[in-house]
Structure 1
Amino acid sequence: MGFQTVTWTGEGGEPTWYETFEGEAKRGFCPTCGSRLAAIDSDIPEVGINVTALDDTSGPDLVPIHASFRDNAVHWLPPVPETEHHTAG
């Protein structure tokens, strides 16, 4: 995402962060319900935010450009036409 800042809203505010791989990656969870909200990897400067954590997903800037595990996607979800391969760095 190309956001300059992220404001966490809701009862718990900022996610509760856990290191999933020491020194390499952290995952953020809702402090109220435990839903996974975001991820931070040490070698990538961006925060990955789960689209389901957003209140409004109708913006034109929220068009998917990558789909992981495309072959295992549920049949009722429209496919991402051209998966873009992202290389960090």
Structure 2
Amino acid sequence: MWWVGFKTITWIGEGGEPTWYETFPGEAKRGFCPTCGSRVAAIDSDIPEIGINVTALDDTSGEDLVPIHASFHDNAVRWLPSVAKTEPTTAS
């Protein structure tokens, strides 16, 4: 999965806001499309942004949507371009 973080988001489309489930009570919840059930979002208590699965976005052509970190790098599918093994940075 390819995630991007947003401080705020406006939900549009058929189902509107995702259906939320707490995956770890008080720590994390995941949002699923109310129409098809796909996982589209994540909120974690230790991250100040909402994570959106990029495939849920209408437009993925922005320069700010270039991958900078890959989790589980060794398990990445071979047919996608490789993302360098880097650690995420935090803005100061």
Q: TM-score range by the shorter chain?
A: 0.7 to 0.9
Alignment of 1:23-38 (within 5 A): 23-38=26-41
Tell which has more relative contact order, 1 or 2 (C-alpha 8 A, sep 6+): 2
Deviations 1:15-62 (A, max 9, x none): 111000011100000000000001001121111111111111110010
- Structure 1 stretches (4+) deviating beyond 3 angstroms? 1-4
Distance 2:63 2:24 in 1: 33
Alignment of 1:5-84 (within 5 A): 5-84=8-87
Percent identical: 83
Q: 1:2 to 1:28 in 2, by over 3 A?
A: closer
Contact 2:31 2:42 in 1 (8 A): yes
Higher strand share goes to which structure? 2
Q: 1:3 to 1:21 in 2, by over 3 A?
A: closer
Q: How many residues align?
A: 87
> Please, which runs of 5 or more residues in structure 1 have no aligned partner?
none
| TM-score normalised by L of structure 2 | 0.85
Alignment RMSD (CA, Å): 1.7
Q: Given residue 80 of structure 2, which amino acid in structure 1 is its aligned partner?
A: L
